[in-house]
Amino acid sequence: MSDVIEIFTQEMFSTLRSHLLGNPKGQEEAAALIAGIVETKRQLRLLVREVVPIPDEYLLHKSSVGLQIHPDFLSRQLKECRLSGSAFMLAHSHPFGGRHVQFSGVDDAGEETLFPKILSLNEGLPTGSIVMSPKSLSARVWLPSENRPRPVDEVRVLGQTIERFNGTNGGRLPEYLVEPPDQGLYSRHVLAIGAEGQRMIRRTRVGIAGVGGVGSSIFTQLIHLGIRDIVLADPDFIDESNLARMVGTAKSDIDAPKVEVLRKLGLRFDSQLAVDTVKGPVESNQARAKLRDVDVVFCCVDSLPNRAFVNRFGCQYYIPVIDVGCDIQMSEKACRRVRAIGGRVMVLMPDGPCLHRYGMATDGLLTDEQDAQRYQLVSGKREEVPSMVCHIGVVASLAVCEFVNLVTGMASRALRSSGVYRMYDGISGTVRECRGANDSDCIVCGAQRGLGDSSDNRVSGR
Amino acid sequence: MMAEQSMGNRPGISIHINKRHYFAPKAQMTGAEIKSLAAIPTANMLYRDERGPGPDTAILDERSVELKPGDHFYDLPIGVVGTEGDNDVPLSSLPEIRARVSEELAMQIQEVMDDYPGTMITVTPDGQVQMVVPDMRAGPGWDPTVVPVLITVPSDCPRSTPQGFDALVSPAPGRGTPGGVSSVTRDGRQWARFCWQVPGWDPSRHRLWHYVKHVRRRFWEENQ
């Protein structure tokens, strides 16, 4: 049976928590959650994209030991879920619950009456519930194929770091789900980030979109870091000029698909490494299908439209995107000289600013690049841009450092959700932080946020 | 005038209730009649599923609605959540406590609460009763000098005596740890566990109140 994971953005989780546990009289509170759905062979993910606190006028009874919710409220939220193809979830608090809060007998009885009905009315989409105390939470889900609720394996909050809680008691993830880290191999890592940090790295599934110079450098660092499960997507084959930039390649790899060459490289390091490859562009159906249940995506594609696509994809599936780019700009004069050597690392969280809000994927820039791509396609000429492995390596390392911060919370200075990104200047050899966006209010990304596969489940009316 | 459909010997208006097909016997029916058609519990609310994004219409029991072929209805119960039966809830009112423990024990707890207002009770899943007595004066030999104490009470008290209590307290600087006190970790914090017991506990004359009084006296004695 696949794992069930509930994912919140930091904003959604904070909204829920402050409502459920903020009652000054210590009374219980409740909220409806509307969640996008992602279902793969490995996992069922519920992406909480709306928290609707239940107003007092819809509570028939409210005290420190219980709530009764008027069906009118449930009917309205269910309608919203039916129309958007979303999952319905009910969250409530046990204000006096302790460190291991559990669903009570009253909760069990209430769900047994209500939830099968919700399952039926909401076209068989999963229905879930969460109970939260000041110190812990528990979550479970009702699936149409099962007539009993099953515990949620993990509740994840995408904040400054990716917080991962055990869905049955809100504590750390159970040890049995992760192998003990190889103390010999990763002993130096463990000294820096602890065994728990190394476990978090190990159980993170990573996607890399584009495995040219930057992507291959990130790939090799990730496998040395302890990642065991990677999805690679790239349509290209290795040509001679790639060998100078792609770490770990050799002349014998020429004309082989880039993703396959890296897969073999990874297996040479660790024969147990799971490398899933897609020999196609990141926006292809095959790549989308495989990237839906990764935990973090590195975006190392060449074109701006593809970067914008990966950014929207991350918003849609609640997957943090680490966008990485590196280029060398030459002067236009007859005697060409290096004008700038630059690199950029941005952590794009689902509820944070997007490339558009950073001003890096404006309509004008996207149109220019699409025109250039069309010209290359028609003319058959592929424009070669200057690039060197040394600068690529610096930027790739910066990106992997951000990944470690995101997954383990190792470093305090984080870029997430704050409109800040990191720029590398290869001429001065410096890295600086830049502020590029003050808000995350993008209508394009906002409309996609947390939908998951739910856009495919939408119904027109009834 | 509503169109009526004839299906063999079962004339009526074709409607759906909870996704099941029914023939309504007449063109106008009350909410109660529609519920009865599909054996819906009377306590549940009935709704007509409206097309489009607007909210569905609640049909009260006494309200009469005109049925159209193809109408869809569904019902929903009241959503109920709560912590009755949840073992994490501290009980501080006597009616709540009486509902969870024996009458004999409830009376003993009441005696303690009369002398120590704010005393709270928690019942664990295995029926064990834990009593928190706030503001127990530990005295200058302890840090802090006033602490809450957590007493695990046997459910058959006074036939069995409490085996001790826990407190978030440590000996004041310069004082040694007295006998019968050890350290335990609870909720990630270091608690002092006191194995103090009433000498010569006699179920015929001792009650929980005596145990609490004994704890207070022992703290006083330890300060001397």
Interface contact B33, partner A, CB < 8 A:
no
Classify residue A379 as exposed, middle or buried by CB count within 10 Å of its CB (0-12, 13-18, 19+). exposed
User: A24-28, A205-209, A404-408: lowest mean pLDDT where?
Assistant: A24-28
What pLDDT, on a 0 to 100 scale, did the predictor assign at position B183? 84
User: A180-194, A202-216, A357-371, B181-195: lowest mean pLDDT where?
Assistant: A357-371
Does residue A290 surpass a pLDDT of 90? yes
**Element housing B94 (H / E):** helix B94-100
What pLDDT, on a 0 to 100 scale, did the predictor assign at position B3? 41
What pLDDT, on a 0 to 100 scale, did the predictor assign at position A428? 92
What pLDDT, on a 0 to 100 scale, did the predictor assign at position B216? 87
Question: Mean per-residue pLDDT for A201-208?
Answer: 94
Does residue A461 surpass a pLDDT of 50? no
What pLDDT, on a 0 to 100 scale, did the predictor assign at position B196? 87
What pLDDT, on a 0 to 100 scale, did the predictor assign at position A438? 62
**B186: nearest CA in chain A?**
A99
Interface contact B88, partner A, CB < 8 A:
yes
Interface contact B20, partner A, CB < 8 A:
no
Of the candidates A28, A70, A90, the beta carbon closest to that of B78 is on A70
Interface contact A117, partner B, CB < 8 A:
yes
What pLDDT, on a 0 to 100 scale, did the predictor assign at position A285? 94
pLDDT in tens, A389-430: 999 999 999 999 999 999 998 875 555 556 788 899 999 999
Question: Mean per-residue pLDDT for A259-280?
Answer: 95
Does residue B85 surpass a pLDDT of 60? no
Please give the share of chain A, as a percent, with pLDDT higher than 70.
Answer: 87
What pLDDT band is residue A135 in, cutting at 50, 70 and 90?
A: confident
Q: A3-176 has which CATH code? A: 3.40.140.10
Question: Mean per-residue pLDDT for A137-141?
Answer: 93
Of the candidates A69, A94, A104, the beta carbon closest to that of B78 is on A69
The three-class DSSP label of residue B25 is coil
Of the candidates A65, A78, A121, the beta carbon closest to that of B83 is on A65
**A134: nearest CA in chain B?**
B88
Of the candidates B19, B74, B82, the beta carbon closest to that of A66 is on B82
What pLDDT, on a 0 to 100 scale, did the predictor assign at position A172? 52
- Indicate yes or no: CB of B79 within 8 angstroms of CB of A117: no
Which residues of chain B make contact with A94, given a CB cutoff of 8 A? Answer: 83, 86, 88-89
Q: Give A95 to chain B, closest Cα distance, Å.
A: 8
Question: Mean per-residue pLDDT for A377-389?
Answer: 70
- Indicate yes or no: CB of B82 within 8 angstroms of CB of A462: no
Q: Greater confidence, A379 or A91?
A: A91
- Indicate yes or no: CB of B58 within 8 angstroms of CB of A113: no
Q: Please, which residues bridge with residue B130 across strands?
A: B122, B152
- Indicate yes or no: CB of A105 within 8 angstroms of CB of B75: no
Classify domain A187-453 by CATH architecture: 3-Layer(aba) Sandwich (3.40)
What pLDDT band is residue A146 in, cutting at 50, 70 and 90?
A: confident
Of the candidates B53, B55, B88, the beta carbon closest to that of A94 is on B88
What pLDDT, on a 0 to 100 scale, did the predictor assign at position A27? 83
Q: Give B141 to chain A, closest Cα distance, Å.
A: 31
SS (H, E, C) chain A: CCEEEEEEEHHHHHHHHHHHHCCCCCCCCEEEEEEEEEECCCEEEEEEEEEEECCHHHEEEEECCEEEECHHHHHHHHHHHHHHCCEEEEEEECCCCCCCCCCCHHHHHHHHHHHHHHHHHCCCCCEEEEEECCCCEEEEEECCCCCCCEECCEEEEECCCEEEEECCCCCCCCHHHCCCCCCCCCHHHHHHHHHHHHHHHHCCEEEEECCCHHHHHHHHHHHHHCCCEEEEECCCECCHHHHHCCCCCCHHHCCCEHHHHHHHHHHHHCCCCEEEEECCCCCCHHHHHHHCCCCEEEECCCCHHHHHHHHHHHHHHCCCEEEEEEEEEECCCCCCCEEEEEEEEEEECCCCCCCCCCCCCCHHHHHHHHHHHHHHHHHCCCCCCCCCHHHHHHHHHHHHHHHHHHHHCCCCCCCCCCCEEEEEECCCCEEEEEECCCCCCCHHHHHHCCCEHHHHCCCCCC
Q: Give A121 to chain B, closest Cα distance, Å.
A: 8
What pLDDT, on a 0 to 100 scale, did the predictor assign at position B82? 82
Does residue A62 surpass a pLDDT of 70? yes
Which residues of chain B make contact with A70, given a CB cutoff of 8 A? Answer: 45, 78-79
What pLDDT, on a 0 to 100 scale, did the predictor assign at position A374? 62
What pLDDT, on a 0 to 100 scale, did the predictor assign at position B4? 45
- Indicate yes or no: CB of B80 within 8 angstroms of CB of A67: yes
pLDDT in tens, A81-108: 999 999 999 999 988 777 778 888 889 8
Q: Greater confidence, B182 or A208?
A: A208
Question: Mean per-residue pLDDT for A35-39?
Answer: 95
pLDDT in tens, A428-439: 999 988 887 666
Interface contact A458, partner B, CB < 8 A:
no
Does residue B44 surpass a pLDDT of 80? yes
Token couple for A380: 């058959």
**B60: nearest CA in chain A?**
A72
Does residue A137 surpass a pLDDT of 80? yes
- Pairs across A and B, CB distance < 8 A: 123
User: A305-309, B188-192, B217-221: lowest mean pLDDT where?
Assistant: B188-192
Q: Which domains does chain B have, with CATH numbers?
A: 13-76 (3.10.20), 94-223 (3.10.110)
Which residues of chain B make contact with A66, given a CB cutoff of 8 A? Answer: 80-84
Does residue A38 surpass a pLDDT of 60? yes
Of the candidates A97, A105, A121, the beta carbon closest to that of B88 is on A97
What pLDDT, on a 0 to 100 scale, did the predictor assign at position B1? 37
Please give the share of chain A, as a percent, with pLDDT higher than 90.
Answer: 56
- The answer to whether domain A3-176 and domain A187-453 are alike in fold is no
What pLDDT, on a 0 to 100 scale, did the predictor assign at position A2? 80
- Indicate yes or no: CB of B79 within 8 angstroms of CB of A110: yes
Which residues of chain A make contact with B91, given a CB cutoff of 8 A? Answer: none
The residue ranges of every structural domain in chain A are 3-176, 187-453
What pLDDT, on a 0 to 100 scale, did the predictor assign at position A459? 44
Does residue A177 surpass a pLDDT of 50? no
pLDDT in tens, B5-26: 444 555 689 999 999 999 999 9
Interface contact A74, partner B, CB < 8 A:
yes
Q: Give B198 to chain A, closest Cα distance, Å.
A: 31
What pLDDT, on a 0 to 100 scale, did the predictor assign at position A324? 95
- Indicate yes or no: CB of B77 within 8 angstroms of CB of A105: no
What pLDDT band is residue B141 in, cutting at 50, 70 and 90?
A: confident
What pLDDT band is residue A178 in, cutting at 50, 70 and 90?
A: very low
Of the candidates A67, A102, A120, the beta carbon closest to that of B81 is on A67
What pLDDT, on a 0 to 100 scale, did the predictor assign at position A182? 67
- Indicate yes or no: CB of A74 within 8 angstroms of CB of B79: yes
What pLDDT, on a 0 to 100 scale, did the predictor assign at position A359? 76
